[in-house]
Amino acid sequence: MAEDIPSEPSHSPIPVAPSLEDPTAGHKAPRGGSVIDSGTVRITVYSIVLGFVGGLVAQALTALIGFITNIAFYGRLSTEFVSPAGNHLGIFVIIVPVAGAVIVGIMARYGSQAIRGHGIPEAMEQVLTNRSRIQPRLTFLKPVSSAIAIGTGGPFGAEGPIIATGGAFGSLLGQLLHTTNDERKTLLAAGAAAGMAGTFGSPVAAVLLAVELLLFEFKARSLIPVAMASVAATVVRIAFLGADPIFAMPHIVAPGAAAIGVYVALGALTGLAAVYVTRAVYGLEDLFARIPVHWMWWPAIGAVAVGVVGYFAPDTLGVGYNIIDDILSGGIAGKTLAVLFILKFVSWSIALSSGTSGGTLAPLFTIGGGLGAVLGAGAVILLPAAGIDPNTAALVGMAAMFTGASRAFLTSVVFAFETTLEPNSILPLLGGCGAAYLVSALMMRYSIMTEKIERRGIKVPAEYGIDALAGILVRECASYKVSSLETGRTLREIKSWLNSGLDGSGHQGYPVLDENGELKGMLTRKAVFSSSLPETARLSELVTRPPVTIYEDDTLRDAMDVMSENDIGRLPVVIRSSPGRVVAILTRSDVMTANKKHLNEARRSEASIQWLAIR
């Protein structure tokens, strides 16, 4: 019996590129390959089309909201995007949001219940549970219901419904073209990103939003199509509205070290507020669930609060983009601002919890911007030498609130920059949003985007990291003591050798080599002893399928994928320069041992962090 035990393992530190004439003919092994392929190009083309569609949808929905607002509050026919705050309805203003909410409730019950909510969590749920398949009718019902809710005074942003509508268009296109699940997810995310970019002119933030909240991956195959869709949608917006930032604010002076420290502290306080804002929303939602009437009527009940608050503070009605603009430019300050953002929070949290249709981004920005401006004004009084800019504080508060509530950290930072184009805001935003993220993650398990989904038992990925098995090479775990069999041996000889116990490897499978030492296949103990061939049969007669191998410099993730695809538990390890030469054996047990070691190290690290926190 031949023992193939290499005295010096053959490693290949520099991978040898496969030649055009495949040296592994007859062998199955991972080939690697490009991070993209022709399918990515095809999806990118579709995504560019989606980008233009999403940009047009954003403009159309904005016009529809303006049309409904003008009819509901001013009795005129116009698509001009106006605030409801200038109405002269008096006490009758309370009726308008209620009427809109009744219509939305009816649409939800008899059209689709999926129109309820603020859009992004619902899209996340379809990605995670329904293979990114969104009901085609939502491409119509979601924007119309949202336009009615917002146009009749609902204190929501238009961006959530536009993002959801763009995602629905992407999903619909993916279903019509019979794409794979991953391709359909990419199209959904591309449509959603196009909706955001077309609304705010923030293409980079739109891509980051898709990555952080919809794609659950950072891969070229999805990143490129989403980026191109965002660019296309932004081009459409520029064609309609120009390239000016949506939120104009005074020029920000580069902050000093003391000011940066204050902005970081402000971000932490805003992150703390975001935790309680999120808890309040879901606490109110639980209260609505106890109301003994059909959920169809909950939006109307919530709209009563919207109308009452709107009567006393008309600026709380509608999307409030103009209010964000005023906060960032210092147009509203002091007690007036404090009352406004508190009342906006009351109105929005009750309405959102009632299950109506509308977005969260703009309301969170209004609440966070107001809080940041108030805290910044206080810091100016307490720390006059620190060089605090209240407008910068408002911008940090705006982004930090969304960071703390949604955990979309990078999206928040880049969005605040893209919508103001103030380069000196980057450092305060990065510090403030980082602090908000830290506080939120310490105090709150789920975000405002994932709480509802998690309650339904759906696990939402919270972090993205490299697969531990993808960082370990096969050569680090394989066994280089290889017991091999020869094709010329008979079954009788092999059975005798196996029964003798002379094999000390403990393996259940063995590579079968020809007279030249080239791999011809694998045989297991079970195959040898259960064979119906005569005892005089040669092993070459038992080898009926080409060998499945793995390279020394492949990863354990590659190995596990090969094992799963071929339903095998062991792999001969070969080298790229001589793919027929077996140098080691990798078993499923070897992979599990390596993974267990990684898990133990991770647990020790987590235990150390917990010990430090207790100390």
Q: What is the pLDDT of residues 180-221, one digit of tens each?
A: 888 999 999 999 999 999 999 999 999 999 998 888 888 889
Residue 3's beta-bridge partner residues?
Answer: 483
The chain-wide mean pLDDT, for the chain, equals: 86
Instruction: Note the pLDDT of residue 20.
Output: 31
Interstrand relation of 482-483 and 485-486 (parallel, antiparallel or unpaired): unpaired
Instruction: Note the pLDDT of residue 613.
Output: 42
pLDDT in tens, 218-238: 888 999 999 999 999 999 999
In 3D, which of 479, 446, 575, 608 has the Cα closest to residue 27? 575
Instruction: Note the pLDDT of residue 34.
Output: 59
Instruction: Note the pLDDT of residue 191.
Output: 92
In 3D, which of 329, 324, 374 has the Cα closest to residue 344? 324
* 615: pLDDT strictly greater than 50: no
pLDDT in tens, 133-167: 888 888 888 889 889 999 999 998 887 788 888 88
- Least confident range from 66-70, 237-241, 541-545: namely 541-545
Q: Checking phi first, is residue 317 left (phi over 0); if not, alpha (psi -120 to 50) or beta?
A: beta
pLDDT in tens, 401-433: 999 999 999 999 999 999 999 999 999 999 999
Instruction: Note the pLDDT of residue 497.
Output: 83
CA distance 302 to 311: 15
Q: Which amino acid is at 276?
A: Y
Residue 357's beta-bridge partner residues?
Answer: 117
* 2: pLDDT strictly greater than 70: no
Share of the chain above pLDDT 70, in %: 91
Give the confidence band of 504 by pLDDT, cuts at 50, 70, 90. Answer: low
Instruction: Note the pLDDT of residue 32.
Output: 52
Residues 172-185, mean pLDDT to the nearest whole number:
89
Residues 278-284, mean pLDDT to the nearest whole number:
93
Alpha-carbon dihedral angle through residues 45, 50, 51, 53, given to the nearest 10 degrees:
140
Q: Would you state the structure tokens that stand for residue 270, as one six-digit string? A: 């805003």
Residue with tokens 């791999």: 519
Instruction: Note the pLDDT of residue 15.
Output: 34
Higher pLDDT pick, 437 / 503: 437
Instruction: Note the pLDDT of residue 202.
Output: 93
pLDDT in tens, 121-132: 777 777 777 777
Q: Which amino acid is at 393?
A: A
Instruction: Note the pLDDT of residue 605.
Output: 55
Give the confidence band of 6 by pLDDT, cuts at 50, 70, 90. Answer: very low
Q: Would you state the structure tokens that stand for residue 527, as one six-digit string? A: 């195959």
Give burial (CB, 10 Å; 0-12/13-18/19+) of 55: buried
* 29: pLDDT strictly greater than 60: no
CA distance 208 to 416: 13
* 581: pLDDT strictly greater than 70: yes
Identify the top-confidence range among 102-116, 175-189, 299-313.
299-313
Q: Would you state the structure tokens that stand for residue 333, as one six-digit string? A: 């300050």
Q: What is the DSSP letter of 381?
A: H
Instruction: Note the pLDDT of residue 614.
Output: 43
CA distance 570 to 567: 10
Domains belonging to the chain, first-starting first, are 38-241 (1.10.3080.10), 257-455 (1.10.3080.10), 468-595 (3.10.580.10)
CA distance 480 to 9: 7
* 9: pLDDT strictly greater than 70: no
Q: Checking phi first, is residue 242 left (phi over 0); if not, alpha (psi -120 to 50) or beta?
A: left
CA distance 320 to 328: 13
User: With b meaning 16 or more CB within 10 Å and e meaning fewer, what string describes 257-294?
Assistant: eebbebbbebbbbbbbbbbebbeebbebbeebeeeeee
Q: What is the DSSP letter of 252?
A: P
Q: Checking phi first, is residue 355 left (phi over 0); if not, alpha (psi -120 to 50) or beta?
A: left
Tell me the pTM: 0.81
In 3D, which of 265, 263, 278, 275 has the Cα closest to residue 394? 263
Provide the sign of the torsion angle of the four alpha carbons 180, 181, 182, 183, taken in this order: positive
Residues 587-593, mean pLDDT to the nearest whole number:
90
Half-sphere exposure (CA, 13 Å, Cβ side) for 355? 26
In 3D, which of 314, 363, 275 has the Cα closest to residue 88? 314
Instruction: Note the pLDDT of residue 360.
Output: 85
Collect all residues with Cβ–Cβ distance below 8 Å to 574 and sequence separation of at least 6.
27, 29, 519, 549, 550, 551, 552, 580, 581, 582, 583
